[in-house]
Amino acid sequence: MNKFCELSAEKQKEVKTQVCEMLANGLGYKRIRKKLQEQDLSLSMGALSYWCNTETKRLRKNSFISTPSKELSYFVGVMFGDGCATKDQKNHDYCLMLGTIDKDFAQHFSFCVTKLLNKTKEYPVHSGKNNMHWVNIRSKELHQFVKEIKTDFKKAKPFIEKFPADFIQGLADSEGCPAISANNNFRVEVYVANSANLELLKYTQYLLSKYFDITSTTRLTKKAGIIDSVIEGRKITRTKNLYLNAISSLEDVKKYFLGIKFSIKRKQEKLKDGIAIIENYKSEERYLEWQKKYVKNKKQWIKISCPTNCEFTPKPGFEPGSHPNSSKESFANLLYLALASVVLSRALARL
Protein backbone atom coordinates (compact mmCIF):
# COMPACT_ATOMS: atom_id res chain seq x y z
CA MET A 1 0.00 0.00 0.00
CA ASN A 2 1.33 3.44 -0.95
CA LYS A 3 2.05 6.07 1.69
CA PHE A 4 0.77 9.58 1.12
CA CYS A 5 4.20 11.15 1.83
CA GLU A 6 5.72 9.10 -1.00
CA LEU A 7 3.34 10.49 -3.64
CA SER A 8 4.29 13.26 -6.05
CA ALA A 9 3.16 16.82 -5.27
CA GLU A 10 0.60 16.65 -8.09
CA LYS A 11 -0.83 13.36 -6.84
CA GLN A 12 -1.02 14.69 -3.28
CA LYS A 13 -2.98 17.64 -4.60
CA GLU A 14 -5.48 15.29 -6.24
CA VAL A 15 -5.92 13.34 -3.01
CA LYS A 16 -6.54 16.50 -0.98
CA THR A 17 -9.09 17.70 -3.50
CA GLN A 18 -10.80 14.32 -3.29
CA VAL A 19 -10.90 14.58 0.51
CA CYS A 20 -12.51 18.03 0.19
CA GLU A 21 -15.25 16.59 -2.01
CA MET A 22 -15.90 13.71 0.39
CA LEU A 23 -16.15 16.12 3.32
CA ALA A 24 -18.59 18.27 1.37
CA ASN A 25 -20.71 15.15 0.79
CA GLY A 26 -20.87 14.52 4.56
CA LEU A 27 -18.46 11.60 4.88
CA GLY A 28 -16.65 11.13 8.21
CA TYR A 29 -13.01 10.35 8.86
CA LYS A 30 -13.40 6.58 8.94
CA ARG A 31 -15.34 6.39 5.68
CA ILE A 32 -12.89 8.75 3.97
CA ARG A 33 -9.94 6.69 5.17
CA LYS A 34 -11.60 3.46 4.03
CA LYS A 35 -12.20 4.87 0.53
CA LEU A 36 -8.57 5.92 0.31
CA GLN A 37 -7.47 2.43 1.36
CA GLU A 38 -9.59 1.03 -1.47
CA GLN A 39 -7.35 3.09 -3.77
CA ASP A 40 -4.30 1.39 -2.22
CA LEU A 41 -3.43 4.55 -0.29
CA SER A 42 -2.45 4.57 3.39
CA LEU A 43 -3.22 7.66 5.46
CA SER A 44 -3.13 8.01 9.25
CA MET A 45 -6.16 9.21 11.18
CA GLY A 46 -4.08 12.03 12.68
CA ALA A 47 -3.07 13.35 9.26
CA LEU A 48 -6.64 13.15 7.99
CA SER A 49 -7.91 15.00 11.07
CA TYR A 50 -5.32 17.75 10.55
CA TRP A 51 -6.37 18.15 6.92
CA CYS A 52 -10.04 18.34 7.72
CA ASN A 53 -9.54 21.02 10.37
CA THR A 54 -6.85 23.13 8.74
CA GLU A 55 -5.37 22.44 5.34
CA THR A 56 -8.48 21.43 3.42
CA LYS A 57 -10.20 24.62 4.54
CA ARG A 58 -7.42 26.60 2.88
CA LEU A 59 -6.89 24.27 -0.05
CA ARG A 60 -8.45 26.34 -2.80
CA LYS A 61 -7.34 29.63 -1.31
CA ASN A 62 -3.69 29.32 -0.31
CA SER A 63 -2.23 26.25 -2.01
CA PHE A 64 0.25 25.76 -4.83
CA ILE A 65 -1.00 24.65 -8.25
CA SER A 66 1.74 23.72 -10.70
CA THR A 67 0.43 25.62 -13.73
CA PRO A 68 2.90 27.27 -16.14
CA SER A 69 3.23 31.00 -15.50
CA LYS A 70 5.84 33.76 -15.63
CA GLU A 71 6.08 33.71 -11.85
CA LEU A 72 6.65 29.96 -11.70
CA SER A 73 9.26 30.08 -14.46
CA TYR A 74 11.16 32.86 -12.66
CA PHE A 75 10.87 30.98 -9.36
CA VAL A 76 12.32 27.82 -10.93
CA GLY A 77 15.25 29.86 -12.31
CA VAL A 78 16.01 31.26 -8.85
CA MET A 79 15.75 27.85 -7.20
CA PHE A 80 18.39 26.52 -9.60
CA GLY A 81 20.51 29.52 -8.61
CA ASP A 82 20.60 31.28 -5.24
CA GLY A 83 17.38 29.76 -3.91
CA CYS A 84 17.60 27.20 -1.13
CA ALA A 85 15.14 24.49 -0.01
CA THR A 86 15.49 23.02 3.49
CA LYS A 87 13.45 20.49 5.47
CA ASP A 88 13.19 19.78 9.17
CA GLN A 89 11.47 16.39 9.16
CA LYS A 90 11.10 16.29 12.94
CA ASN A 91 9.20 19.59 13.12
CA HIS A 92 7.53 19.17 9.71
CA ASP A 93 9.10 22.45 8.61
CA TYR A 94 9.49 22.86 4.83
CA CYS A 95 11.29 26.11 4.01
CA LEU A 96 12.21 27.88 0.76
CA MET A 97 14.68 30.70 1.20
CA LEU A 98 16.53 33.39 -0.75
CA GLY A 99 19.37 35.52 0.60
CA THR A 100 20.79 38.37 -1.50
CA ILE A 101 22.48 41.76 -1.27
CA ASP A 102 19.92 43.19 -3.73
CA LYS A 103 16.68 44.17 -2.05
CA ASP A 104 14.83 44.53 -5.36
CA PHE A 105 15.78 40.93 -6.19
CA ALA A 106 14.34 39.71 -2.89
CA GLN A 107 11.17 41.78 -3.44
CA HIS A 108 10.64 40.36 -6.93
CA PHE A 109 11.13 36.81 -5.64
CA SER A 110 8.63 37.51 -2.85
CA PHE A 111 6.11 38.84 -5.39
CA CYS A 112 6.40 35.70 -7.55
CA VAL A 113 5.99 33.27 -4.65
CA THR A 114 3.04 35.27 -3.33
CA LYS A 115 1.32 34.82 -6.70
CA LEU A 116 2.17 31.10 -6.81
CA LEU A 117 0.65 30.45 -3.38
CA ASN A 118 -2.38 32.73 -3.92
CA LYS A 119 -1.55 34.88 -0.91
CA THR A 120 -3.17 38.27 -0.42
CA LYS A 121 -0.06 39.83 1.18
CA GLU A 122 3.50 39.53 -0.09
CA TYR A 123 6.04 37.65 2.00
CA PRO A 124 8.16 40.14 3.99
CA VAL A 125 11.75 40.91 3.05
CA HIS A 126 13.97 40.87 6.15
CA SER A 127 17.26 42.77 6.28
CA GLY A 128 20.27 41.37 8.14
CA LYS A 129 24.01 41.76 8.57
CA ASN A 130 26.37 42.61 5.70
CA ASN A 131 23.54 44.33 3.80
CA MET A 132 21.83 40.98 3.21
CA HIS A 133 18.11 40.66 2.51
CA TRP A 134 16.14 37.47 3.15
CA VAL A 135 12.83 35.95 2.10
CA ASN A 136 11.56 32.83 3.90
CA ILE A 137 8.59 30.83 2.61
CA ARG A 138 7.06 27.80 4.28
CA SER A 139 5.11 25.55 1.95
CA LYS A 140 5.26 21.78 1.86
CA GLU A 141 3.67 21.56 -1.59
CA LEU A 142 6.05 24.07 -3.17
CA HIS A 143 9.00 22.41 -1.41
CA GLN A 144 8.01 19.02 -2.85
CA PHE A 145 7.68 20.56 -6.32
CA VAL A 146 11.25 21.90 -6.07
CA LYS A 147 12.50 18.53 -4.86
CA GLU A 148 10.88 16.79 -7.85
CA ILE A 149 12.31 19.08 -10.53
CA LYS A 150 15.78 18.98 -8.97
CA THR A 151 15.69 15.20 -8.82
CA ASP A 152 14.44 14.93 -12.41
CA PHE A 153 15.21 18.07 -14.44
CA LYS A 154 12.96 16.92 -17.30
CA LYS A 155 9.93 17.63 -15.12
CA ALA A 156 10.87 21.32 -14.99
CA LYS A 157 11.09 21.81 -18.76
CA PRO A 158 7.32 22.05 -19.54
CA PHE A 159 7.07 24.96 -17.09
CA ILE A 160 10.26 26.64 -18.29
CA GLU A 161 9.60 26.48 -22.03
CA LYS A 162 6.26 28.27 -21.75
CA PHE A 163 8.05 31.33 -20.37
CA PRO A 164 11.78 30.89 -21.10
CA ALA A 165 12.72 34.58 -20.62
CA ASP A 166 11.55 34.52 -17.01
CA PHE A 167 13.46 31.33 -16.23
CA ILE A 168 16.69 32.74 -17.71
CA GLN A 169 16.13 36.02 -15.86
CA GLY A 170 15.67 34.22 -12.54
CA LEU A 171 18.82 32.19 -13.13
CA ALA A 172 20.84 35.24 -14.25
CA ASP A 173 19.62 37.36 -11.32
CA SER A 174 20.98 34.60 -9.07
CA GLU A 175 24.15 33.49 -10.79
CA GLY A 176 24.87 35.97 -13.58
CA CYS A 177 26.10 39.52 -14.16
CA PRO A 178 27.19 41.99 -16.84
CA ALA A 179 30.91 41.38 -17.50
CA ILE A 180 32.82 44.54 -18.41
CA SER A 181 36.39 44.35 -19.71
CA ALA A 182 37.52 47.96 -19.31
CA ASN A 183 40.96 48.18 -20.87
CA ASN A 184 42.39 49.09 -24.27
CA ASN A 185 39.88 46.67 -25.82
CA PHE A 186 36.63 47.66 -24.07
CA ARG A 187 34.14 44.75 -24.13
CA VAL A 188 30.70 44.01 -22.73
CA GLU A 189 29.48 40.45 -22.14
CA VAL A 190 26.66 38.83 -20.19
CA TYR A 191 27.57 36.01 -17.84
CA VAL A 192 24.22 34.24 -17.62
CA ALA A 193 25.23 31.76 -14.93
CA ASN A 194 28.12 30.07 -13.13
CA SER A 195 27.18 26.57 -12.02
CA ALA A 196 28.49 23.08 -11.41
CA ASN A 197 25.33 21.80 -13.13
CA LEU A 198 26.50 21.36 -16.73
CA GLU A 199 23.10 20.02 -17.85
CA LEU A 200 21.43 23.21 -16.60
CA LEU A 201 23.84 25.47 -18.48
CA LYS A 202 23.64 23.47 -21.71
CA TYR A 203 19.84 23.68 -21.51
CA THR A 204 20.06 27.45 -20.92
CA GLN A 205 22.28 27.72 -23.98
CA TYR A 206 19.62 25.85 -25.96
CA LEU A 207 16.84 28.19 -24.72
CA LEU A 208 18.82 31.29 -25.68
CA SER A 209 19.41 29.97 -29.16
CA LYS A 210 15.93 28.61 -29.88
CA TYR A 211 13.71 31.33 -28.42
CA PHE A 212 15.86 34.47 -28.68
CA ASP A 213 18.36 33.76 -31.48
CA ILE A 214 21.18 34.46 -29.02
CA THR A 215 24.47 32.61 -29.36
CA SER A 216 26.16 31.73 -26.09
CA THR A 217 28.97 29.42 -25.02
CA THR A 218 29.40 27.12 -22.05
CA ARG A 219 32.95 26.59 -20.85
CA LEU A 220 34.86 25.13 -17.92
CA THR A 221 36.21 27.84 -15.60
CA LYS A 222 37.42 25.91 -12.52
CA LYS A 223 38.40 22.28 -12.13
CA ALA A 224 37.57 20.05 -9.20
CA GLY A 225 40.45 19.67 -6.77
CA ILE A 226 41.77 23.24 -6.89
CA ILE A 227 41.74 25.57 -3.87
CA ASP A 228 38.74 27.70 -4.68
CA SER A 229 38.75 30.17 -1.79
CA VAL A 230 40.01 30.88 1.73
CA ILE A 231 37.45 31.44 4.50
CA GLU A 232 38.76 32.54 7.91
CA GLY A 233 42.14 31.04 7.11
CA ARG A 234 40.70 27.71 5.95
CA LYS A 235 41.45 26.66 2.37
CA ILE A 236 38.35 25.47 0.56
CA THR A 237 38.95 22.83 -2.11
CA ARG A 238 36.47 22.66 -4.99
CA THR A 239 34.76 19.26 -5.19
CA LYS A 240 33.08 19.78 -8.59
CA ASN A 241 33.95 21.41 -11.90
CA LEU A 242 32.55 24.92 -12.34
CA TYR A 243 31.12 26.01 -15.70
CA LEU A 244 30.10 29.36 -17.16
CA ASN A 245 27.44 30.20 -19.75
CA ALA A 246 28.29 33.53 -21.43
CA ILE A 247 26.99 35.79 -24.22
CA SER A 248 29.89 37.53 -25.95
CA SER A 249 28.92 39.30 -29.19
CA LEU A 250 27.59 42.86 -28.85
CA GLU A 251 24.51 42.14 -30.98
CA ASP A 252 23.57 39.18 -28.79
CA VAL A 253 24.25 41.19 -25.63
CA LYS A 254 21.79 43.84 -26.88
CA LYS A 255 19.20 41.13 -27.59
CA TYR A 256 19.56 39.97 -24.00
CA PHE A 257 19.30 43.54 -22.69
CA LEU A 258 16.05 44.15 -24.59
CA GLY A 259 14.41 40.71 -24.59
CA ILE A 260 15.32 39.07 -21.28
CA LYS A 261 16.94 41.66 -18.98
CA PHE A 262 18.06 41.50 -15.36
CA SER A 263 15.32 42.30 -12.85
CA ILE A 264 18.06 43.62 -10.54
CA LYS A 265 18.37 47.34 -11.21
CA ARG A 266 22.13 47.69 -10.65
CA LYS A 267 22.92 44.84 -13.06
CA GLN A 268 20.59 46.14 -15.77
CA GLU A 269 21.97 49.68 -15.43
CA LYS A 270 25.57 48.47 -15.70
CA LEU A 271 24.71 46.51 -18.84
CA LYS A 272 22.96 49.57 -20.30
CA ASP A 273 25.93 51.83 -19.50
CA GLY A 274 28.40 49.36 -21.03
CA ILE A 275 26.45 49.18 -24.29
CA ALA A 276 26.10 52.99 -24.38
CA ILE A 277 29.88 53.44 -23.97
CA ILE A 278 30.55 51.24 -27.01
CA GLU A 279 27.88 52.88 -29.16
CA ASN A 280 28.70 56.51 -28.30
CA TYR A 281 32.48 56.66 -28.01
CA LYS A 282 35.49 55.75 -30.11
CA SER A 283 37.55 52.77 -29.02
CA GLU A 284 40.36 54.92 -27.58
CA GLU A 285 37.88 56.97 -25.51
CA ARG A 286 35.81 54.16 -23.97
CA TYR A 287 38.03 53.22 -21.05
CA LEU A 288 38.38 56.82 -19.84
CA GLU A 289 34.65 57.47 -20.20
CA TRP A 290 33.84 54.29 -18.27
CA GLN A 291 36.13 55.34 -15.41
CA LYS A 292 34.14 58.56 -15.04
CA LYS A 293 31.10 56.49 -14.03
CA TYR A 294 32.54 53.35 -12.44
CA VAL A 295 35.38 52.47 -10.07
CA LYS A 296 37.03 49.05 -9.70
CA ASN A 297 36.33 47.45 -6.31
CA LYS A 298 38.18 44.15 -5.92
CA LYS A 299 36.89 42.15 -8.90
CA GLN A 300 33.92 44.21 -10.04
CA TRP A 301 33.06 47.69 -11.26
CA ILE A 302 30.95 49.75 -8.85
CA LYS A 303 28.94 52.73 -10.05
CA ILE A 304 30.05 56.05 -8.58
CA SER A 305 27.17 57.77 -6.80
CA CYS A 306 28.04 61.11 -8.44
CA PRO A 307 30.30 60.53 -11.48
CA THR A 308 33.16 62.98 -12.01
CA ASN A 309 31.54 64.20 -15.22
CA CYS A 310 28.06 64.67 -13.76
CA GLU A 311 26.54 68.01 -14.72
CA PHE A 312 25.25 70.55 -12.26
CA THR A 313 21.50 70.31 -11.83
CA PRO A 314 20.10 73.83 -11.39
CA LYS A 315 17.67 74.54 -8.58
CA PRO A 316 14.02 75.17 -9.48
CA GLY A 317 13.58 78.69 -10.87
CA PHE A 318 17.17 78.95 -12.16
CA GLU A 319 17.76 78.99 -15.87
CA PRO A 320 20.61 76.89 -17.27
CA GLY A 321 23.85 78.87 -17.03
CA SER A 322 22.62 81.20 -14.30
CA HIS A 323 24.23 79.39 -11.38
CA PRO A 324 26.39 81.85 -9.33
CA ASN A 325 29.61 80.07 -10.27
CA SER A 326 28.80 79.53 -13.91
CA SER A 327 29.96 82.86 -15.45
CA LYS A 328 31.20 86.42 -14.87
CA GLU A 329 27.78 87.67 -15.84
CA SER A 330 26.21 85.71 -12.96
CA PHE A 331 28.69 87.26 -10.55
CA ALA A 332 27.87 90.76 -11.85
CA ASN A 333 24.18 90.11 -11.36
CA LEU A 334 24.75 89.07 -7.75
CA LEU A 335 26.89 92.19 -7.09
CA TYR A 336 24.18 94.41 -8.55
CA LEU A 337 21.53 92.79 -6.33
CA ALA A 338 23.74 93.24 -3.24
CA LEU A 339 24.30 96.95 -3.95
CA ALA A 340 20.60 97.47 -4.62
CA SER A 341 19.80 95.82 -1.28
CA VAL A 342 22.20 98.18 0.56
CA VAL A 343 20.74 101.28 -1.11
CA LEU A 344 17.20 100.17 -0.31
CA SER A 345 18.01 99.51 3.35
CA ARG A 346 19.60 102.98 3.75
CA ALA A 347 16.59 104.63 2.13
CA LEU A 348 14.26 102.88 4.54
CA ALA A 349 16.40 103.96 7.50
CA ARG A 350 15.95 107.64 6.57
CA LEU A 351 12.14 107.37 6.63
- Specify the CATH number for the domain of residue 235: 3.10.28.10
Measured between alpha carbons, how far is residue 158 from residues 105, 109, 243, 267 in Å?
25, 21, 24, 28
User: Is the residue at 127 inside a domain?
Assistant: yes
Reply yes or no on whether the pLDDT at 342 is more than 60. no
**One domain, residues 164 and 182:** no
Percent residues over pLDDT 90 in the chain: 52
User: Is the residue at 324 inside a domain?
Assistant: no
Percent residues over pLDDT 70 in the chain: 81
What's the pLDDT at 299? 77
**One domain, residues 256 and 149:** no
**One domain, residues 218 and 266:** yes
Place 344 in a pLDDT band, splitting at 50, 70 and 90: low
Reply yes or no on whether the pLDDT at 311 is more than 70. no
Reply yes or no on whether the pLDDT at 160 is more than 60. yes
Higher pLDDT, 48 or 134: 134
**One domain, residues 211 and 281:** yes
**One domain, residues 266 and 232:** yes
User: What average pLDDT does this structure show over 233-250?
Assistant: 91
What's the pLDDT at 66? 85
Reply yes or no on whether the pLDDT at 249 is more than 90. yes
User: Is the residue at 328 inside a domain?
Assistant: no
Reply yes or no on whether the pLDDT at 316 is more than 70. no
**One domain, residues 281 and 184:** yes
**One domain, residues 104 and 6:** no
What's the pLDDT at 35? 83
Burial class (CB in 10 A: 0-12, 13-18, 19+), 23: middle
> Chain-wide mean pLDDT for the chain?
82
User: What average pLDDT does this structure show over 9-13?
Assistant: 74
In this structure, of 167-181, 224-238, 263-277, 336-350, the range with the lowest mean pLDDT score is 336-350
**One domain, residues 187 and 271:** yes
What's the pLDDT at 213? 97
- Among residues 118, 151, 169, the one where a domain terminates is 169
Reply yes or no on whether the pLDDT at 23 is more than 60. yes
- Among residues 261, 276, 303, the one where a domain terminates is 303
User: Is the residue at 323 inside a domain?
Assistant: no
Higher pLDDT, 168 or 9: 168
User: Is the residue at 249 inside a domain?
Assistant: yes
User: What average pLDDT does this structure show over 179-192?
Assistant: 92
User: Is the residue at 53 inside a domain?
Assistant: yes
Q: Quote the number of domains for the chain.
A: 3
**One domain, residues 180 and 297:** yes
Residue range 142-153, pLDDT digits in tens: 998 999 999 999
- Among residues 261, 281, 303, the one where a domain terminates is 303
Give the helix/strand (H/E) hosting 53: none
**One domain, residues 28 and 82:** no
The residue segments making up the domain with residue 22 are 2-62
**One domain, residues 100 and 208:** no
In this structure, of 55-64, 129-138, 225-234, 245-254, the range with the lowest mean pLDDT score is 55-64
Place 341 in a pLDDT band, splitting at 50, 70 and 90: low
Contact 160, 68 (CB under 8 A): no
Q: Kindly report the backbone phi and psi dihedral angles of residue 84, in degrees, each rounded to the nearest multiple of 5, phi listed first.
A: -135, 135
User: Is the residue at 102 inside a domain?
Assistant: yes
Reply yes or no on whether the pLDDT at 70 is more than 60. yes
pTM as predicted: 0.72
Separation of alpha carbons 339 and 157, rounded Å: 78
User: Is the residue at 18 inside a domain?
Assistant: yes
**One domain, residues 141 and 180:** no
What's the pLDDT at 347? 52
Separation of alpha carbons 174 and 79, rounded Å: 9
User: What average pLDDT does this structure show over 297-321?
Assistant: 55
- Which residues, 6+ apart, have CB-to-CB distance to 110 below 8 Å? 122, 123, 124, 125, 135
Regarding beta strands 2-3 and 41-42, do their DSSP bridges make them parallel or antiparallel, or are they unpaired? parallel
What's the pLDDT at 297? 83
What's the pLDDT at 349? 52
